[in-house]
Structure 1
């Protein structure tokens, strides 16, 4: 049984949660400021629970903490770092969850069949477990973190109203179910997401890299590849969308890696030419020092001519922009 105190709040009996497991009949809950972790099964099966007031000291939500709390509509978890397996499983009326910039992990089936959940903004998420948002039928838009590292199998399967995701450009974001028959393995993160047609990229690393590429042709090709996904995704079968996104990411990164390699090759060649040009200019200056002094205007003209004839002016103008690549 949970430690608690009951309070009257505008005629409503408020259960103050201090740990343990809450009584099944509670409807309104205030999480005491002493609580940093909402324990496993804390409100499991509290089918009449409609409101939970949290605070900024909560760090984790335990296994099945709010399992089957069907009437709960919204909750603020802006300070949580981890949401455990099955934490909000089958909270059918849960419309809104506020995640803060500390949340790193959402466990398997954590929001399984939360049919009313509409939008997700996960500004610091790193790991999303398998089936985490399975069958969230009202979900239309997801904003992932640029720190995102893993999306488990079927994490968003059955989200048949999902239209847009914003995701970082990384390899191996999608995982496979290692327990499945290898001959049948495929990427199933967005199976059944018939409306998914738009992918935007989060984080500025790719933009900086593209803008730093020296050749306009290279920049154009990479940008075309980045935009290609939103041309093909609307016509991609629902059960192939995860694979299409994964292949597209690999293609963009492969093209960027190719042109970064070309970029550095030009840098190396340009630096060599620059070194030779400066070496030749220095030899010519030493040669000048042993000659009869000429008028200053003649010396300046000679140096300008040497820069042109040895190619130093061309090298400096065209090589230096290569030297900084994000």
Structure 2
């Protein structure tokens, strides 16, 4: 089936490179077999309102939706790379990307003059040094970081770690490098602003990885302590099935049994403390 009617409007099913969708299309869904929207696929489609992709679509090609003057909604949950000028000149107001996104290339959202906010993951080389993905986005007020990073920061073992990360991240998003200021990461008015943006991202990622590693070390220590406590508890019960002190084989088996207990406890009790 190539298209369907919903609420008196036709939804076209895009089958991939070489498949031509009529230029009067207003709504397009991408078939599950498609993994990339090729260059110029829907360039200057005057009536296109929405494009819905499944999470297997990894790339949005060069000028794939360039100058689509009616485009309001884009869902691309699995996208990894946005190529140059992919959405340039579109009237999108809000765009949200998931953790899978790795890179936004040159002028991808250039002159999206209605865009007010965008949500992206915080990764090195996400925005590059000279890409200027949000150049001429006059109304862009916020570049938010995906929710998973905020959740991970909130899960840190010590409040001082969380506070330190929030002090590093929040001010720069809400009024600094990642917002609509002279140092806005997407506009890069000066080489110094470019360098500050990239160095800031690298600094945040380094600090996050350091706290994450310390957090995981604490979890390992807690797991070991809990395992030893279970073993000691079994040995101190005084039950007839607990081996006496000279029974090395029996006591080793007891430790193994405690390890079996831990295979239940660790995934179900401590797993919520892990940071992805």
Aligned 8 A contact 1:82 1:105 in 2: yes
Taking the TM superposition and a 5 Å limit, the aligned residue runs for 1:272-311 are: none
Structure 2 counterpart of 1:214: 157
Aligned 8 A contact 1:62 1:84 in 2: no
Q: Quote how far apart the aligned CAs of 1:61 are.
A: 3.8
Is 1:160 the counterpart of 2:118? The answer is: no
Provide runs of 4+ in structure 1 moved above 6 Å.
264-268
Gaps of 5+ in 1: 1-29, 34-50, 176-184, 290-320
Q: Quote how far apart the aligned CAs of 1:325 are.
A: 4.3
Q: Quote how far apart the aligned CAs of 1:159 are.
A: 0.9
Is 1:170 the counterpart of 2:123? The answer is: yes
Q: Quote how far apart the aligned CAs of 1:115 are.
A: 1.9
Max Rg structure = 1
1:131 corresponds to which of 70, 73, 85: 85
Q: Tell me the C-alpha RMSD between the 2 structures.
A: 3.9
Taking the TM superposition and a 5 Å limit, the aligned residue runs for 1:1-326 are: 31=2, 53-55=11-13, 59-62=15-18, 65-66=20-21, 69=23, 71-77=24-30, 79=32, 80-136=34-90, 138-175=91-128, 186-202=130-146, 204=148, 206-228=149-171, 229-232=173-176, 233-236=179-182, 239-240=187-188, 243=194, 246-263=198-215, 325-326=274-275
Aligned 8 A contact 1:59 1:82 in 2: no
More RCO (CA 8 Å, sep 6+):
2
Aligned 8 A contact 2:12 2:27 in 1: no
Per-residue CA deviations over 1:216-247 (Å, capped at 9, x if unaligned) read 11111112323221222132356229957655
Aligned 8 A contact 1:59 1:81 in 2: no
**Change in CA separation of 1:60 and 1:245 when aligned onto 2, cut-off 3 Å:** farther
- Aligned counterparts of 2:29 and 2:161: Cα–Cα separation in 1: 45
- Aligned counterparts of 2:117 and 2:197: Cα–Cα separation in 1: 12
Aligned 8 A contact 1:66 1:89 in 2: no
Aligned 8 A contact 1:62 1:83 in 2: no
| TM-score computed with the length of structure 1 as normaliser | 0.56
Q: Quote how far apart the aligned CAs of 1:212 are.
A: 3.7
Gaps of 5+ in 2: 237-243, 245-269
